[in-house]
């Protein structure tokens, strides 16, 4: 029984650590994409990507908004709030991500910035 508990705890810790590194790698990749496109700091480049209407809504949401939430960019808060339509469940954009910014992702990013979170990647700014 003790071995089973130890194995379960070890597996849970490994899963959390793996997820942390996967998210961190995704954040770093997204920052590189934005900086290569806009040549500013990580925050400035990600904000520019979100505002760039020549980019697809998917890019703006999944690279820009998601990453700004992960790094808890206070600098991005006015931009994110500008696009947010007070739809925390994303009902207005359900299956419309090719045509508009995801309101659920905006909500999560704004909440992460305003409230903080346990696993933050703010050191990657």
Question: Which pTM does this prediction carry?
Answer: 0.82
Whether 81 maps to a domain, the answer reads yes
What's the total number of domains in the chain? 1
Count of other CB atoms within 10 angstroms of residue 35: 17
Whether 57 maps to a domain, the answer reads yes
Please tell me the number of Cα atoms within 13 Å of 85 on its side-chain side. 10
Tens-digit pLDDT profile for residues 72-94? 999 999 999 999 998 888 777 77
> What confidence score (pLDDT) does residue 104 get?
92
Measured in whole angstroms, how far is the alpha carbon of residue 53 from the centre of its chain? 19
- Supply φ then ψ for residue 9, to 5 degrees: -65, -40
Whether 9 maps to a domain, the answer reads no
Whether 120 maps to a domain, the answer reads yes
Whether 58 maps to a domain, the answer reads yes
Whether 8 maps to a domain, the answer reads no
Choose among 4, 109, 124: nearest CA to 62.
109
The residue segments making up the domain with residue 30 are 26-124
**Which two three-digit tokens encode residue 81?**
């709030």
């Amino acid at each position: 029984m003790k071995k089973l508990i130890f194995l379960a705890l070890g597996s849970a810790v490994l899963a959390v650590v793996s997820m942390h590194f996967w998210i961190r790698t995704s954040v770093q990749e997204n920052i590189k994409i934005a900086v290569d496109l806009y040549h500013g700091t990580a925050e400035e480049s990600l904000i520019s990507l979100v505002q760039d209407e020549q980019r697809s809504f998917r890019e703006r949401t999944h690279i820009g908004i998601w990453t700004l939430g992960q790094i808890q960019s206070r600098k991005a808060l006015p931009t994110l709030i500008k696009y947010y339509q007070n739809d925390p469940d994303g009902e207005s954009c359900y299956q419309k991500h090719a045509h508009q910014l995801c309101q659920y992702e905006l909500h999560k990013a704004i909440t992460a910035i305003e409230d903080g979170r346990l696993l933050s990647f703010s050191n990657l700014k």
